[in-house]
Chain A
């Protein structure tokens, strides 16, 4: 039995990161390092209006006065900010109208990743905004969406075409000085996605952004802003990959969601940045600030995430439940293997009456990795009759990994109910024996058990993603019991 297990572990560890290729594409980069000049360069490069430059500089000043946060249960090597290239963009022609004008190398890259920017994608009914090295390459289906009044474009286009929306909503959920990485992003962000759903519109197709880091020594800093007007609905997906490199690359993103009265936003992520090799060398440092605001009554935001990549993940998708009767859900599966570290969870801040939140977090740690859930549930005094349910389970595979749970619960009124429960366990011999006895190999049994364990979260993903996520889980974990 033991030998069999070892074999499986070998198989798993030999499973290489299949998105680790590099595309040979001409890129335009800023000088290494971060100074006021870099920020001016980025702003100029992007032909930004004056207010954006001011915003960036203000954030930069704040960032200088801040310190790297140390509270997370992570060992983060010193990040040398002056060695990072803060802006890299694939060289492209001025304006792109059709796909023919896109660099074929680029198209190839995305085809290789299984992200078709082709109109063929019509069949799948997904509109994609592809972002390479923090610059939006191509957004598909913009025209179709425009018929419904939906704006789905890159962030820089939105700055140009819809400055009033940007001015109104940018940083309304994540202030530029919110935390160290949010301030850094606000100062240097290069592009990202912008999505606006007008009143009463139900977005007919899934919107998707695909992030790809390609150039070496660069950091990726993108920003996503989603605004759902009264009574609207949108389902939004995000995916990401990066080439295999020996050095660590920095990714610091911001996602802001505003849901007005009766609006619903569903945000799904499959995060598969390069996790580093078996010795823990290389990999992406993923420091992301994601926050939603349930602004109006009866609004709803749901976060679903499958975290399998990145050397270090520092990510707490959170929600401010401001409108009465608003609702937020957080579903997460976080998998760490080898030397990966993850400190992730959710924050639910209840401000409105009768607000409801659910947190379901499933952590799986294998190898020598460390996986922590860190969450906050805060019920303010005025949030009468609020309700929270949190469940955080951890599954340990191997005796050299760690699984931690750090929940913070703060209650300020007498009519709310908060429940939190967590368990930590490993796949039991009994479960395996049961499967073996019925002719299921240990390998498939583990796959079965892990899938069952994560099912609650996986079933919340849009179909397209669910398949990918399931595969990812299998690749990362199959048989890591030892």
Chain B
């Protein structure tokens, strides 16, 4: 039985002027919606989880809708996307699994296991799967049924700002998403790929909730894709919590290629124990409004957190990268590198915040954000913040905004390379620094191709699956004879 509600946002959100009334009614609406569908939401819950939800909802009802007046949202305007009507489903649609089967995503030569979500709902044939090496993968809803203790222990336990509107909303409504449990001492060679596909005839609002737990001395590589396959509006409010136990490792790749009508709020919360390593790489190729909010809580000594990102935006796309790294313990290293190219009327926000707490001595934290503006209508706002309360640290940040180097362009052109190709080459070289951070070779090649395609304007969201994953790899290269250079 299809069970959905229309969240009639148009009348409630929007316009800051009489913000108060509208917010109140939106709150009531979302709270009422929750009350009305309690049974559906609580279906798989244990008592404890229901309690967490109720608390989150209570906090949510006291929080404020983010508007441009909020410091963290001053450059990202949600009023337009929130002025649309969205449908909210409390149950999976019937034909989802069909779609899930159609869109198989295979990265050539990549040894991976792929799992597909359609409109936020899993399309898995069986419940939780246990792999040979003991890794458990499945849907969040099934995990709540089968491993209530593990879920209880981790659900909503990472850093969640008390007042973060969307995280709280997600926690109270969370129904489905992926669940990965890696036991101790497992070093998996296989990558796990999670594909989120948005394919709907109407505008939809979805809230996936993901949970990843990595045991001691274990390693996981995870590829997390967000794709849309048509031009409908969508609003995704996703929260992913990743727990790293001692000596564990994660290679985490986010690939975002959504249509221009979509909104993606992507919260990723890392919780690091002693000697754990994070390498996170978010590649944003397309999307109407993307906000990647990454929080890293460093709770043990000897940790390393590497957070990289690349964004290539054009048209009226907007990307917002918020990174918060909380150095709570000594002897840890964090690295941030975000690069972006903006064309047409695109706009981007980078907000990196490194907090080094008192007594977190011997911390090293580096932040870098580099941007290229190709037009006079593109906008960039960058805010690399450092907040430091310990003295024996090495911290630095840098931010640049510029354009393609004219001299380099001239050099290439003087060697007979067309202006277009020369520009492509320079842009690609700029982006390559981030791409080269990808440690899985086949994935790197794949993303490399996609970035090249994107720069040439060939990669767009169409009725076919965006990634053309089924098609064999075609050598895509620049039409230049590099030997001439």
The answer on a CB contact under 8 Å between B380 and A420 is no
Decide yes or no: A408 and B378 within 8 Å by CB, A399-B390, A418-B400 being known contacts.
no
Q: Which of B391, B396, B397, B399 contacts A396 (CB 8 A)?
A: B391
Question: How many residues of chain B have a CB within 8 Å of chain A?
Answer: 36
Using a CB-CB cutoff of 8 Å, which residues 411-448 of chain A contact chain B? 411-426
Q: Which of B361, B393, B398, B401 contacts A424 (CB 8 A)?
A: B393
Measured between C-beta atoms, what is the minimum distance from A396 to chain B in Å?
4
| Nearest neighbor of A399 in chain B, beta-carbon distance | B391
**A424: chain B residues within 8 A (beta carbon):** 386, 388, 393-396
- The answer, yes or no, to whether B133 is at the interface (CB within 8 Å) is no
Which of A400, A418, A424 gathers most chain B CB within 10 Å? A424
- The answer, yes or no, to whether A282 is at the interface (CB within 8 Å) is no
Q: Which of A394, A404, A414 contacts B375 (CB 8 A)?
A: A414
Using a CB-CB cutoff of 8 Å, which residues 246-305 of chain B contact chain A? none
**A418: chain B residues within 8 A (beta carbon):** 399-402
**B385: chain A residues within 8 A (beta carbon):** 404-407
**A413: chain B residues within 8 A (beta carbon):** 373, 376
Using a CB-CB cutoff of 8 Å, which residues 357-416 of chain B contact chain A? 358-359, 361, 371, 373-403
- The answer, yes or no, to whether B71 is at the interface (CB within 8 Å) is yes
Using a CB-CB cutoff of 8 Å, which residues 360-411 of chain A contact chain B? 379, 381, 394, 396-411
Within the assembled complex, what's the spacing in Å between the Cα atoms of A422 and B399? 9
Interface flags, B327-363, vs A, CB<8A=1, else 0: 0000000000000000000000000000000110100
The answer on a CB contact under 8 Å between A412 and B391 is no
Within the assembled complex, what's the spacing in Å between the Cα atoms of A159 and B390? 50
**A405: chain B residues within 8 A (beta carbon):** 384-386, 397
The answer on a CB contact under 8 Å between A414 and B397 is no
Q: Which of B361, B381, B397, B403 contacts A421 (CB 8 A)?
A: B397
Decide yes or no: A415 and B403 within 8 Å by CB, A405-B397, A421-B396, A424-B395 being known contacts.
yes
- The answer, yes or no, to whether A71 is at the interface (CB within 8 Å) is yes
Within the assembled complex, what's the spacing in Å between the Cα atoms of A419 and B391? 26
Query: What secondary structure prevails in chain B residues at the interface with A?
Result: strand
| Nearest neighbor of B361 in chain A, beta-carbon distance | A399
**B399: chain A residues within 8 A (beta carbon):** 407, 409, 418-421
**A422: chain B residues within 8 A (beta carbon):** 384, 386, 396-398
Within the assembled complex, what's the spacing in Å between the Cα atoms of A394 and B358? 16
Within the assembled complex, what's the spacing in Å between the Cα atoms of A394 and B396? 10
| Nearest neighbor of A412 in chain B, beta-carbon distance | B379
| Nearest neighbor of A481 in chain B, beta-carbon distance | B391
| Nearest neighbor of A415 in chain B, beta-carbon distance | B403
Within the assembled complex, what's the spacing in Å between the Cα atoms of A412 and B392? 38
**B379: chain A residues within 8 A (beta carbon):** 410-412
Question: How many residues of chain A have a CB within 8 Å of chain B?
Answer: 36
Measured between C-beta atoms, what is the minimum distance from B404 to chain A in Å?
9
Decide yes or no: A411 and B371 within 8 Å by CB, A403-B388, A418-B399, A426-B392 being known contacts.
yes
Which of A398, A401, A403 gathers most chain B CB within 10 Å? A403
Q: Which of B376, B388, B398, B401 contacts A404 (CB 8 A)?
A: B388
**B395: chain A residues within 8 A (beta carbon):** 423-425
Measured between C-beta atoms, what is the minimum distance from A98 to chain B in Å?
54
| Nearest neighbor of B350 in chain A, beta-carbon distance | A409
Measured between C-beta atoms, what is the minimum distance from A119 to chain B in Å?
49
Measured between C-beta atoms, what is the minimum distance from A363 to chain B in Å?
10
The answer on a CB contact under 8 Å between B376 and A381 is yes
**A397: chain B residues within 8 A (beta carbon):** 391
The answer on a CB contact under 8 Å between A402 and B380 is no
Q: Which of A402, A408, A414, A417 contacts B381 (CB 8 A)?
A: A408
The answer on a CB contact under 8 Å between B403 and A404 is no
The answer on a CB contact under 8 Å between A410 and B393 is no
Tell me the B residues contacting A by CB distance below 8 Å: 71, 358-359, 361, 371, 373-403
Other than the given A417-B402, A421-B398, 6 more pairs (CB < 8 A) read: A71-B71, A394-B386, A411-B379, A417-B403, A421-B399, A422-B396
List 25 A–B pairs whose Cβ atoms lie within 8 Å, in order of A's numbering: A73-B387, A399-B361, A399-B390, A400-B358, A401-B389, A402-B389, A403-B386, A405-B386, A408-B382, A409-B381, A409-B401, A411-B371, A411-B373, A411-B379, A412-B376, A412-B379, A414-B375, A414-B403, A415-B376, A420-B398, A421-B396, A422-B396, A424-B393, A425-B395, A426-B391
